[in-house]
Amino acid sequence: MQGEVMLKIPVGEGKVEVEQEEEEAAIIATANEGGGEGPSTPMATSSSSNSRALEEITNGAAAAAAGREEGQQQGSWFRKKMMMTRTTNTVTTTGDQQQQQQQLGQAAAAAAAHRYDFHVCGPRNLTPPNWKDNIRSSWKDPKYKRMVVACFVQAVYLLELDRQDKRTEDTGLAPKWWKPFRYRLAQTLIDERDGSIYGAILEWDRSAALSDLIIMRPSGAPRAVLALRGTLLNRPTIRRDLEDDLRFLAWESLKGSVRFNGALEALRSAVDRFGSANICVGGHSLGAGFALQVGKALAKQGVFVECHLFNPPSVSLAMSLKNIGEKAGYIWRRMRTALPYSTVAASAVVDGGGEERLWPAEMKKWAPHLYVNSSDYICCYYNDPAGTAAIAAESKDAAASLNDKGSVGGGGEVAAKLFVMSKGQQKFLEAHGLEQWWSDDMELQQAVHNSKLINRQLRSLYDAATPTPPKNR
């Protein structure tokens, strides 16, 4: 196979590789030398052989060019197909990634949610105000009002925690507890001794209500709410909180506290602006004790505001001493009535010193709402009716004598609405917690019997013999 040229054209690649055999150079050289037994015209033979070789090379090059063009067209179509496939895959992958990122973001947000966030531990089925309140107000429902006031007290706890953790208004937890009900923060009550927040005034936010098509304030909704928190066992506030706890434990009164004066001043200012009928006071634990004290202070002046007390304190050393003194006095008076001069002695008891004072009829207009848990040893004594019969019998004779002289009132009984929750035996933190008062499955029963402690608590403000606790330095 002399002068043979081999062409290798890889399909689809468009590349041509021409290879000659090793004998080509030797055959052409031999033909040019003109050996004796060779053809008569060696140059013509060599030229013809070269022409065929060149023709084959040219034909091969043309075929290679055609193959290259076809290969380019096939490669172009393949690249377009690949690009379309990649684009489709990219769109699908991007959609899946966005969905995965959204799911991860939701999971991260749920994990990062604070345990005191409104959407985590707040009321589940409490409907915020809407345009329907223009026709039928939710605030007329006592359960709704109790739950909202409890949320406002929780907001005061979180105001102090936001301050300690240096959270702003945008990142704070507290605003989420009043904004859903269309209220705004008007004033914070700050203890100047340690800078802690112990109370707040929340006012009806008309602009926020109008955005929800609430034209006017719903019937029963207060214009302003004074909310007071209880004890926080955190280092920045624990000292002043425990001081007031011990003050109540020793004296059964908080009138000597700086916080009492601040709360009373804020409440008076709100009453002057909106009127007593448009004001509500709420407190929990120690804050309930302050709310009761400031409410009594205004009631003494003939100003009656609605008051909601959650887990109010009922244990104090002064109360124990009073119980002992009352029992001893009751026994002594019973013994004196058995003596020959019992008539004179009885008249002396009634006329001398005015020890038994009756409540005028207008003072009974103030009826605070007390919410207690039978498993909470701090407030459970409000549910104890023991000794009520003795107090009623003790004051019966004095009441009859005073009524004969034209005095208003009688019986010495004090009006209050006591709501008791009993779920059997509960742990203290659960029974004393504020969260239970906005729970959906809570069942309350209103106590119909008289409470000895309620009578004493509400009577003490009008008793001139009540000891005055020392003032703060």
Q: Regarding the domain delimited by 120-460, which CATH topology (the fold level of the hierarchy) does it fall under? A: Rossmann fold (3.40.50)
pLDDT of residue 421: 81
Q: Which of 4-13, 63-72, 154-163, 221-230 has the lowest mean pLDDT?
A: 4-13
How many C-beta atoms surround the C-beta of residue 98 within 10 A?
A: 10
- Name the residue with tokens 């929990």: 284
Kindly report, residue by residue over 133-171, the tens digit of the pLDDT: 777 888 999 999 999 999 999 999 999 999 999 999 889
Q: Is 284 within 8 Å of 229 (Cβ atoms)?
A: yes
How many C-beta atoms surround the C-beta of residue 451 within 10 A?
A: 24
Q: Is 3 within 8 Å of 47 (Cβ atoms)?
A: no
Is 248 in a helix, a strand, or coil? helix
Q: Is 28 exposed, middle or buried (0-12, 13-18, 19+ CB in 10 A)?
A: middle
End-to-end CA, the chain: 125
SS3 track for 346-384: HHHHHHCCCCCCCCCHHHHHCCCEEEEECCCCCCHHHHC
Give the residue, 366 or 471, on which the prediction is more confident: 366
DSSP class per residue in 404-418? HTT-S--TT----EE
How big is the chain by its Cα radius of gyration, in Å? Answer: 47
Mean of the pLDDT values across residues 330-336? 64
pLDDT of residue 414: 55
What's the token pair of residue 135? 């026709």
Mean residue pLDDT of the chain comes to 73
| Model confidence at 112: pLDDT above 70 | no
Q: Is 227 within 8 Å of 250 (Cβ atoms)?
A: no
Q: Residue 185 is inside which H or E element, if any?
A: strand 183-190
Kindly report, residue by residue over 283-321, the tens digit of the pLDDT: 999 999 999 999 999 998 889 999 999 999 987 555 555
Kindly report, residue by residue over 384-442, the tens digit of the pLDDT: 765 444 444 444 444 443 343 433 333 445 567 888 887 778 888 899 999 999 987 67
Burial state string for 345-366 with b = 16 or more CB within 10 A and e = fewer than 16: bbeebbeeeeeebbbeeebbeb
Kindly report, residue by residue over 246-278, the tens digit of the pLDDT: 888 888 788 889 999 999 999 999 999 999 999
Q: Tell me 223's DSSP state.
A: S
Is 136 in a helix, a strand, or coil? coil
Residues in the chain: 473
Cα–chain-centroid distance for residue 342?
63
| Model confidence at 463: pLDDT above 60 | no
Mean of the pLDDT values across residues 240-246? 91
Q: Determine the Cα–Cα distance for residues 433 and 428; give it in Å rounded to an integer.
A: 8
CA dihedral 143, 146, 151, 156 (to 10 degrees): 180
- Name the residue with tokens 């490669």: 75
Q: 178 phi and psi, to 5 degrees?
A: -120, -25
Give the residue, 1 or 228, on which the prediction is more confident: 228
What's the token pair of residue 306? 């609605």
Which amino acid is present at 291? A
Burial state string for 108-129 with b = 16 or more CB within 10 A and e = fewer than 16: eeeeeeeebebeeebbeebeeb
Question: Is the pTM here over 0.85, yes or no?
Answer: no
Kindly report, residue by residue over 37-82, the tens digit of the pLDDT: 444 444 444 556 666 666 666 666 666 666 666 656 666 666 766 6
Mean of the pLDDT values across residues 220-233? 95
Share of the chain above pLDDT 90, in %: 32
For strand 17-20 and strand 183-190, is the pairing parallel, antiparallel, or unpaired? unpaired
pLDDT classification of 382: cutoffs 50, 70, 90: confident
Mean of the pLDDT values across residues 186-200? 95
Cα–chain-centroid distance for residue 190?
21
Q: Which of 339, 420, 340 is CA-nearest to residue 382?
A: 420
Q: Which of 179, 119, 171 is CA-nearest to residue 148?
A: 179
Give the residue, 277 or 4, on which the prediction is more confident: 277
| Model confidence at 367: pLDDT above 70 | yes
Tell me where in the chain the CATH 3.40.50 domain(s) lie. Answer: 120-460
